[in-house]
A and B are shown apart, each in its own frame.
Chain A
Amino acid sequence: MTLWSTRRSGRLAAVAALLLLAACASAPPPVQEVADAERALQAAAAAEAESLAPAAFDKARQKLEAAKAALQAGEHLRARRLAEQALVDAEVAQAAADTEKAARAAAALRAQIQDLGGSPPQGVTGL
């Protein structure tokens, strides 16, 4: 092993690193993906997911923030993945919130029926 070969290894490493950096940055900026995720998060917020499904909602929000930061930094691949995950996490949060609201509404109706001295219809009580 000579000093020359050591220097060559260093150059190779630098070239590989630059290629990787270029690969990350060369993807088109995921502006649409970030906007879609933002809309999904707003829809989840409108469905009260922040209080009804806080874990999923927080995860989506953090990923969206990270996606925006990555977009600003020119890390397009990372930004795209984060935005796509933020979108699907927001949809999970919204679905969880909607499911919870429906379950609560059903429970309230069952309680009202029982307070009136009735009994909920068969097959509905087990929800």
Chain B
Amino acid sequence: MMAVPVAGIRRRILLLALGVLLGTLLGGPARAQDAATVAEAQAALEAARSARLVRAFAAPELAAAERALERALAAQDAGGARDEVEHLAYLAESRAAVAQMRAEERRTARALQELAATRTQVAQARALEAAAAERRTRGLVQGLRRFDVRSEAGGLLLTPRERWFDSEVMPARRAVAALTEAARLLGRLPERQVVVLGYALRGAPLPGAAEDTADGAQGSAAATPIPARYPKDGAASPVAGPDDLGCTRADVVRAFLISNGVDPRRVVATCLAPRGMLEAPAAGDIAIQILPENASARSPTMGEAIDAAPPAP
């Protein structure tokens, strides 16, 4: 009576141990591996094979995927171990994916050549247009009688030949004629953005910079822009600059240009304050900057240094 249960228990234990051992041996090699069914591999390969793009651009990879699938099918037909068949199917499925990606990559690479050629053509066309516009602009500014003109970073800087302001913010009579001339020119260059530069009388230290000594400040051409204020909608505003006569004058000139037909959206006023207490020869004066084609005028923010020395008087 007692021998049978003991033998049964032992047999169960042995069978369980055998099962665990077999499971470990069979499952062990498959651990950390990926698997796919042959049907999945066949579907992936069929999708790749039916894509004209893949046939055209990734024939070698497609052939490799087909060979891999043949190996999986052969293993299956020969009654190979399931994990070996699934391993081979995974390889075939992955190779089909490689074929798809290589086809896409090569199509894009071919398109890149076309895109690069187009970019070159467009860039050349724009360069020709810019050169033509520059020639036209130069032709226009050559007719100016009251300004000196020089190239400035792809644009033009118009400097009055005479001082415009004898006192405070009221332009002298000669300045009105010059401003009218400038407004007429800007009307003929409606696509160009304009910056009215006002050279401040007083200095403004760069934020974060050490205070200059009197000696160190002399001769310094660094300038700190002081943003002029005017309504963002671009409406004409007579005076709204920081508390400096040079800045205020820039706003006055901008307002004058606007009142003479210049679109307020394309003209800004910027005040340049010499660093420290530099007595710039042109302090308090004005210049008009016509920006390069496609450049946008903006009012610099406080503390943004720009490389602009005051024009010679």
Instruction: Give me the interface of A with B, judged by CB distance under 8 Å.
Output: 1-3, 5-6, 9-10, 13, 16-17, 20-21, 24, 59, 62-63, 66, 75, 77-78, 81-82, 84-85, 88-89, 91-92, 95-96, 98-99, 102-103, 105-106, 109-110, 112-113, 116-118, 120-121, 123-124, 127
Contacts and interface: CB of A to CB of B under 8 A. Distances in A.
A104 to B, nearest CB: 10
Interface string B123-140: 101100000000000000
A106 B112 contact: yes
Contacts of A84: 87, 91
A2 B111 contact: no
Contacts of B15: 9, 13
Interface stretch (B25-33, B153-161, B186-194, B216-224): B25-33
Interface of B: 3-4, 6-8, 10-11, 14-15, 17-18, 21-22, 25-26, 28-34, 84, 87, 90-91, 94-95, 97-98, 101-102, 104-105, 107-109, 111-112, 114-116, 118-119, 121-123, 125-126
A61 to B, nearest CB: 12
A24 B29 contact: yes
Contacts of A103: 108
A17 B108 contact: no
Nearest to A12: B18
Contacts of A127: 107-108, 111
| Secondary structure dominating the interface of A | helix
Nearest to B83: A81
| Secondary structure dominating the interface of B | helix
A79 to B, nearest CB: 9
Given A2-B7, A13-B17, A95 B28 contact: no
Nearest to B101: A95
Contacts of A105: 108, 112
Nearest to B65: A88
Contact of A13 (B18, B29, B32): B18
A10 B33 CA distance: 31
B59 to A, nearest CB: 15
Nearest to A62: B32
Contacts of B126: 116-117
B204 to A, nearest CB: 36
Contacts of A66: 32
A123 to B, nearest CB: 8
Contact of B18 (A16, A24, A62, A77): A16
Contacts of A10: 14
Nearest to B294: A117
B114 A1 contact: no
B119 A112 contact: yes
Given A3-B6, A20-B26, 15 more contacts: A3-B10, A16-B18, A17-B18, A77-B29, A81-B84, A91-B95, A95-B98, A96-B101, A99-B102, A102-B105, A102-B108, A106-B111, A109-B112, A116-B119, A127-B108
